[in-house]
Structure 1
Amino acid sequence: MTFPTWVPTRRRLADTALAALAPVCACVLALGGLAVWTSTGNAGTPARIGVTDARLFLPSQGVPETAAFFRITNTGGARDRLVEVTSPEVAEGISLSSHRMTATGAAYRWPTDSLPILAGRTLDMSPLTSDVTVPATARWEAGDLVPFTLHFERSGRVEALAVVVQPGTETRARDAGNDEG
């Protein structure tokens, strides 16, 4: 008994190619999705947020608001976002803002819904970068400690105590502390 030999025809080759195309497309699509997921910071270790160097400017007489600043460090492998700041000493009106420069060199504050905290990086808030705008409703004095809760998109809540400082003195005090080594 002899068996007929398989002969490749154009139709058989086309059917084979179409049958192989579906799994290849699925693999390429899955790899592309994973690459996008990784590049946007969603892969790796979760964000690990630490908050230090919290300070609140002593409000000026007659000015309805002041600013709080925090050093936020993310030692994790994924980015996070600061989405809200609250304080039991301030009922409402706390907001996030970033600072922008005009073409003429003037600075202005721009309200924002969130501030990004990149993986492995530090957001060091200052009068030149970003801040937390706080209504000046309480009677704070230099040296007071004001509790804040920072709310992050992925990391949840982080508690911090901000020291009330006179504007301009916090930089000198921080620099002096760094010199003591």
Structure 2
Amino acid sequence: MTDRNLWRPTRRRLTDTVLAALAPVAAWGLALGGLSVWTAYGNAGSPARITVTEGRLFLPAGDSTETAAFFRITNSGGSQDRLLKVTSAEAGGATTLSHHRMVTANTASRQTVTSVPVPVGDSLAMSPSGLDVIVPVKGKWQAGDLIAFTLHFERSGAVKNLAVVVRPGQEGA
């Protein structure tokens, strides 16, 4: 066997080999980076699993034209979701999400909210001193009535729930 028949690495052959191996390694790196970003923004894992409970609607006082509804929203899934809106055919118009904040001991401010995040493995409890749903009054509701609501989520879609009409101060009843 002569020296001419032996394969010998040359600079050109090594460069071609490295370049051929670099393409799949670069593709793998881009895919891993993209999946990492996707996971970091809550898009990986199991889907959001939303349950809505404890629906309550305050009995309107006197001739008031609006009242407030409250729900407990739990996300037991593996992805974050977002509450986009709440609707009810039994309300006297469009409902709005709002956030109440105490300014002083006797005054509060109300701010309309466009959406609310529902984090993974967490629960969102609406209350008179925090997040609630402003509901236009329609007809004469009485304590104990059940009013149908649909909560609309970004990923989970529509979730129906009933809210019981309660007197303010008797939310837990």
Question: What band does the TM-score fall into relative to the shorter chain?
Answer: 0.7 to 0.9
**Aligned counterpart, 1:177:** none
Q: Is the 8 A contact 2:101 2:109 kept in 1?
A: yes
For residues 21 and 114 of structure 2, the distance between their equivalents in structure 1, rounded to whole angstroms, comes to 47
CA separation of 1:127/1:39 partners in 2, compared to 1, >3 Å: closer, same or farther? same
**Aligned counterpart, 2:136:** 135
**Aligned counterpart, 1:69:** 70
**Aligned counterpart, 1:26:** 27
User: Cα distance, 1:107 vs. partner?
Assistant: 4.0
User: Cα distance, 1:13 vs. partner?
Assistant: 4.5
Report sequence identity in percent: 59
**Residue correspondence of structure 1 range 24-173 to structure 2 within 5 A:** 24-100=25-101, 107-171=108-172, 173=173
Task: Please tell me the residue identity of whatever aligns with 2:119.
Answer: L
- Can you list the C-alpha shifts for 1:128-178, whole angstroms capped at 9, x where unaligned? 22111111233212221111111222222211110111222214x3xxxxx
For residues 53 and 5 of structure 1, the distance between their equivalents in structure 2, rounded to whole angstroms, comes to 78
Aligned residues: 170
Normalised by the length of structure 1, the TM-score is: 0.81
For residues 148 and 155 of structure 1, the distance between their equivalents in structure 2, rounded to whole angstroms, comes to 15
Task: Please tell me the residue identity of whatever aligns with 2:147.
Answer: V
**Aligned counterpart, 1:176:** none
| Equivalent position SS for 2:25 | helix
Backbone CA RMSD of aligned residues: 2.3
| Equivalent position SS for 1:25 | helix
Q: Which residues of structure 2 form unaligned runs of 5+?
A: none
User: Cα distance, 1:46 vs. partner?
Assistant: 1.5
| Equivalent position SS for 1:28 | helix
Q: Which residues of structure 1 form unaligned runs of 5+?
A: 174-181
